[in-house]
A and B are shown apart, each in its own frame.
Chain A
Amino acid sequence: MNKSMLKAAIGLIVLAGLLVVPRFVESPYALHMMILLFLSVSQGQSWNILGGYAGQYSVGHAAYFGVGAYTTMMLMYSRQVVPWVGVWAGVAAVIVVALVIGSICFRLRGPYFVLASIAVAEIMRLSAINLTTLTNGAEGILVTEIPAFKIGERVVTDFLTKVPFYYIGLFLALLTLAITYWVQHSKLGYYFQAIREDQDAAHSLGIHISVYKNIGLVISAVLTSLAGSFYGIYVGFVDPPTVLGLDVSVQIMLICIIGGMGTIWGPVLGSLLLVPLSEALRSNMITEGLVKIGLVSADSKVGLFLKENLAHAHVLIYGILVVLVILFMPDGLMGFVKKLASRRKREAA
Chain B
Amino acid sequence: MAVFLQSLISGVLIGGVYALIGIGLTLIFGVMRVINFAHGDIMMVGMYLTYLLFTLMGVDPFVSVLISFPLMFFFGGFLQKVFINRVLNAVAQNQILLTIGLGLVMSNTVMLIFTSDYKILTTSYSSSTIQVGGGVSISTPLLVSFLITAVITAALGWFLLKTDTGQAIRATAQDRDAAQLMGINVSRMSVIAFGLGAALAGTAGALISPTYYIFPQVGGTFTLKAFVITVLGGMGSVVGATLGGILIGITESMSAVYISSGWKDVVVFVLFLLVLLFKPSGLMGKSRT
Report A-chain residues with C-beta under 8 Å of the C-beta of B270.
123
Does the CB pair A127–B266 fall under 8 Å?
Answer: yes
A103: min CB distance to chain B, Å: 10
Set B83, B106, B228, B265: member contacting A126, Cβ < 8 A: B265
Q: Is there a chain A Cβ closer than 8 Å to B69's Cβ?
A: no
Does the CB pair B86–A327 fall under 8 Å?
Answer: yes
Within 8 A of A (CB), among B184-240: 220, 224, 227-228, 231
Within 8 A of B (CB), among A87-132: 104, 107-108, 110-112, 114-116, 118-120, 122-123, 126-127, 129-130
Set B102, B220, B266: member contacting A319, Cβ < 8 A: B102
Does the CB pair A326–B92 fall under 8 Å?
Answer: no
Does the CB pair B108–A319 fall under 8 Å?
Answer: yes
Report A-chain residues with C-beta under 8 Å of the C-beta of B102.
319, 323
> Could you tell me how many residues of chain B have their Cβ less than 8 Å away from some Cβ of chain A?
42
Main secondary structure of the interface of A (DSSP, over half): helix
Set A126, A130, A313, A330: member contacting B108, Cβ < 8 A: A313
Tell me, in angstroms, the Cα distance from A194 to B269 when the chains sit together: 32
Q: Is there a chain A Cβ closer than 8 Å to B98's Cβ?
A: yes
Tell me, in angstroms, the Cα distance from A127 to B262 when the chains sit together: 9
Report A-chain residues with C-beta under 8 Å of the C-beta of B101.
318-323, 326
Set B103, B116, B227, B231: member contacting A312, Cβ < 8 A: B116
Does the CB pair B94–A104 fall under 8 Å?
Answer: no
Does the CB pair B115–A126 fall under 8 Å?
Answer: no
Within 8 A of A (CB), among B231-282: 231, 260, 262-263, 265-266, 269-270, 272-273, 276-277, 280
Binary flags per residue of A321-345, CB closer than 8 Å to B gives 1, else 0: 1110011001000000000000000
A246: min CB distance to chain B, Å: 5
Does the CB pair A126–B266 fall under 8 Å?
Answer: yes
Report B-chain residues with C-beta under 8 Å of the C-beta of A126.
262-263, 265-266, 269
Report B-chain residues with C-beta under 8 Å of the C-beta of A246.
220
Contact-residue bracket for chain A: 35 or more
B127: min CB distance to chain A, Å: 25
Report B-chain residues with C-beta under 8 Å of the C-beta of A36.
none
B11: min CB distance to chain A, Å: 19
Q: Is there a chain A Cβ closer than 8 Å to B96's Cβ?
A: yes
Report A-chain residues with C-beta under 8 Å of the C-beta of B93.
57, 110, 114
Q: Is there a chain A Cβ closer than 8 Å to B90's Cβ?
A: yes
Main secondary structure of the interface of B (DSSP, over half): helix
B228: min CB distance to chain A, Å: 8
Report A-chain residues with C-beta under 8 Å of the C-beta of B228.
119
Within 8 A of B (CB), among A112-159: 112, 114-116, 118-120, 122-123, 126-127, 129-130
Closest to B271 in A: A119
Q: Is there a chain A Cβ closer than 8 Å to B111's Cβ?
A: yes
Can you list 15 A-B contacts (CB < 8 A)?
A57-B93, A112-B276, A114-B35, A116-B276, A120-B273, A127-B266, A130-B262, A253-B97, A308-B115, A313-B111, A316-B109, A320-B105, A323-B105, A326-B97, A327-B86
Q: Which 8 A-B pairs have the closest CB atoms?
A: A319-B104, A322-B101, A316-B108, A319-B105, A323-B101, A130-B262, A119-B269, A326-B98
| Chain A residues within CB distance 8 Å of chain B | 57, 59, 104, 107-108, 110-112, 114-116, 118-120, 122-123, 126-127, 129-130, 246, 250, 253, 257, 308-310, 312-313, 315-316, 318-323, 326-327, 330
| Chain B residues within CB distance 8 Å of chain A | 35, 83, 86-87, 90, 92-94, 96-98, 100-106, 108-109, 111-113, 115-116, 220, 224, 227-228, 231, 260, 262-263, 265-266, 269-270, 272-273, 276-277, 280
